[in-house]
Each structure stands twice: as C-alpha cells, then as structure tokens.
Structure 1
Amino acid sequence: MKEIDPILVYKKMVCTTHSIQEVIKQLISQYQINHNEFLVLELLYQEGEQPIQKVGKKVFIASSSITYVIDKLEKNGYIQRIPCKEDRRVMYAKITELGTKMMEELYPQYQEKLNMIFADCQEKEMNELAHMLTKVEQNAF
C-alpha cells in the first residue's frame, strides 16, 4: 500500500475548507454580513448570549478582531451588549430580535447549502470524516 503524504492531505483539507467557505460567503453576502459576523451570529443564535471574550475563542476570531466584529453587528442592530451583573469587567453579546429574524431566514439556506455540499457522502462516511478530523485537531494542539 502506498504511503500517504500528510502534506498532500493537509493541502486537500485547506482547499476543501476554502471551497466550502467561498460558497457560504456567497450566500451570506446577500445579507450584507461577512463570514466572521455570520460565525458570531450563528453562535449566538444557536447557543444564546455569551461573554464577548469567549465568543472570539469559540468561533476562532482573534481577540484583536472580535471587538470590531461585535461593534459592527451591534451598529447594525443584530446583537446587543449586556453588562454582567456579577462582574463589571464582563460584557455579554446577545442576538437581538432583528438578528434572530435574519438568522431564521438565513440559517435554513445555510443548512441547505451544506447538505448539497455533503450530498454524496453517506452517514457512515460523515461520521468517519468527523472522527478523523477530531483526531487530527487533537494532535494539532
């Protein structure tokens, strides 16, 4: 059996990720938001309000950029900042009614795009891929 080169596998992962992100960027651009803004809105839509400092870590946005993303989403009325009652240093981000309304329209389209992208993959293959990617991710840290 021929040995697989991890560099080639890595390049394939990067190309695949880039291709998927481009499809998603095209979809969300119709809503005048960028990829990072979508990631934050998706997190808040799915999981509810979050401490702002944890939002960036959960969606892999650098701490130097998360304030800009939060500011822009807040300016557009999609999220609001809520001070923590127990610790004045902590600020929460919460999706607004306007943000929820947009995500209720956008999220099903997002799911449909991903379903189309993975349409040729069977459930077993998807589970195996997720398992393999988890192993690779764990080895990267």
Structure 2
Amino acid sequence: MEKNITHEFIMVMNKLRKLTHKHHSKDMVHQGEFMMLGAIHGCMEENRANQKNDPGVKVSELSDKIHSTKPATSKMLNALEEKGYIERISDKKDRRVVYIRLSAAGEKIIKESLHRMHIFAECTIKRMGEEDAKDFIRLLNKFYDAVYEEMKDMKRDKEDCEKE
C-alpha cells in the first residue's frame, strides 16, 4: 500500500478529531457522558417497548450495553449524577438493586443534542450534496466493517501470542 495514502488517512482523521474537539462548547456534555446518557435513554426505550415496568436501567445492563467494566460505568454514572443528569432509584423489594434513569435535565440534554445533531447532519449533507453524502455513508460503513475485522484479527493475534 502506498505510504501517501496511509499518511493522508492518518492526517485527515487527526484533522477531524481536532475539529470536533475544538468546537466542543463548554455547555455541551463530553462525548463519553453523552454516550452514557444515550445508552440509558436507549435501554429505557427498549424496556418500554418490551413492557418491562422497571423504574430505570440496572448498572450491569448499562455496562453490557456500552461494553465497559462496572467500575468504569459507576465512575461515569457518579459524574452524571453530580451534574444532575441522572437519578438512582433503589428497588423497593431488594435494596441492593439500584436502577438508573435520566433526570429531567438528562432528558433535556438528550433531546437538545439529538436535535442539534440532526440539524448539523442535514446542513452537512446539503453542503456535500446528496450523492456525495450517500457515497460517503457507504464508504463509512465499509470503513467500519474493515476496522471491526482488523480489531478482531488484532485481538486474536494478541491472544495467540499470550498462549505461546
């Protein structure tokens, strides 16, 4: 493979990362926090669709959903609770079971962020042109698949090395 393509790829990925970091305003939640709020929102929607009457989502469910350890999940939840974006509810039958749900402020953040993302996406697609945007989406999906497969291979190679 040409070194130029590899170099260009790395450069454009870094430019995108810097651009998104640079335009992160102070009133916005951090990406990890937003992902956690989104996971809580998504789990609660799934529970409603499955007619589960739980008052929220268990920490273990969230850890599984975001592929994170329970301690890392708990740390993020503590930060979100301090900011007033989530609430913890103890199970009335079993005090050891704690549910997490979005507070009114957390719901507002999700709603506003999703609205801003949709507007941003629409404006970006309009600027790119619909055909280029469709091609880009197709290529991003192909890129995702390639990254996923490469990461699987790297994990398998690492496990093979550890066995030796």
Shared fold per TM-score greater than 0.5: yes
Counterpart of 2:147? 136
Higher relative contact order (CA 8 A, sep 6+): 1
Structure 1 gaps of 5+ residues are none
Unpaired runs of at least 5, structure 2: 45-55, 153-164
Residues 1-141 of structure 1 aligned to structure 2 (within 5 Å): 3-5=1-3, 7-8=6-7, 11-12=10-11, 14-15=13-14, 18-19=17-18, 21-22=20-21, 26-27=24-25, 29-31=26-28, 33-48=29-44, 49-56=56-63, 58-59=65-66, 63-83=70-90, 91-116=98-123, 119-120=127-128, 121-141=132-152
Q: CA deviation at 1:115?
A: 4.5
| Shift in Å, 1:35 | 2.5
Q: CA deviation at 1:73?
A: 1.1
The alpha-carbon distance between structure 1 residues 73 and 134, as it changes in their structure 2 partners (threshold 3 A), is same
Query: Residues 132 and 90 of structure 1: is their aligned pair in 2 closer, same or farther, counting only changes over 3 Å?
Result: farther
Distance 1:90 1:11, change over 3 A: farther
Separation in 1, partners of 2:116, 2:134: 21
Q: Indicate conservation of the 8 Å contact 2:86/2:101, yes or no.
A: yes
Q: State, as a whole percentage, how many aligned pairs show the same letter.
A: 16
Shift of 1:85: 7.7
Query: How far did 1:12 drift?
Result: 4.3
Q: Residue type matched to 2:36 in 1?
A: V
Q: Equivalent residue of 1:69, what SS?
A: helix
Give, in whole Å, the separation in 1 of the partners of 2:19 and 2:65: 19
Give the Cα–Cα distance (whole angstroms) in 2 for the partners of residues 60 and 14 of structure 1: 24
From the two aligned structures, give the one with the greater helix fraction. Answer: 2
| CA–CA separation in structure 2 for the residues paired with 1:111 and 1:53 | 30
Q: Residue 24 of structure 2: SS of its match in structure 1? A: helix
3-state SS of 1:77 partner: coil
2:119 is matched by which residue type in structure 1?
Answer: E
How far 1:70 moved relative to its partner? 0.5
Give the SS at the match of 1:94: strand
What TM-score do the two structures reach when normalised by structure 1?
0.66
Give the RMSD, CA atoms, in angstroms: 3.5
Whether the aligned pair in 2 keeps the contact of 1:36 and 1:61 (CA below 8 Å) is: no
Given the superposition, is the C-alpha separation of residues 21 and 57 from structure 1 closer, same or farther in structure 2, using an over 3 Å criterion?
farther
Match of 2:53 in 1: none
